[in-house]
Structure 1
């Protein structure tokens, strides 16, 4: 991921200009091959590029720019008469709008704290007569399931509870 962000001009050290130019030419070639006549087609082409990034790169993913930025770029791109100017607009848009998706602190803390808590809860639950069935579930299944469930619950609660209520 770091190499990709270096190619996009967001990380240090910077790659050689030839390598960054090669990457941008390849992106623009993929983009220009599509028949783009409307904003919807333009947006689908941009989303396809970001989908390609996220499916090809392991680890961190890149965020898609807001629809307003895509609309602004489309207006500039459509007004440009020459193919070279369209290419320059596209390259500027890609270098300015690519941002790495950042995990918030709550996700990281939940991912670190949940497995030991799940193991402790399982051990405590094995001694409760009503929960004797918990012994039948292997730790290899119980701990990851509890972690994923905790992460999903945390993500949903972060979307439901406004940020102004979460932090005083």
Structure 2
């Protein structure tokens, strides 16, 4: 029972951490763009567009995985209308945070999935299948002589190489 509770708490803290990181990014970008803008405390469409480009640039620079293109201006315009609660044609800080959270949700899920596959699933599968290679002529003896940690690292590296090569094909 205690293990289940700890797992639930870890997931909640992970979600809180992710939300806090998104909030830091949106506040930093909002403040940067707002400083360059007029004295109002909200962003116009053009300022929102520049902000989205900055956010996606940071995502592509700092997170592993394929390059993620920002949405088109048309999609941004329709989303901005959806998140402009007070209908003034501008996004204030809270509206902007919700807007960016919606835009980056799919991107962050993709990055998380790729990391889980490469860093958790691949080594686990490698260790589970190590015994299955015993009967393979030539290969089985080599694999059995390798320490499990080295074998898992080789398989994980192979998975990462395959992920990288498939990114170039898209």
Q: Shorter chain as normaliser: what TM range?
A: 0.3 to 0.5
Richer in helix (by share): 2
Normalization by structure 1: what TM-score?
0.43
Normalization by structure 2: what TM-score?
0.43
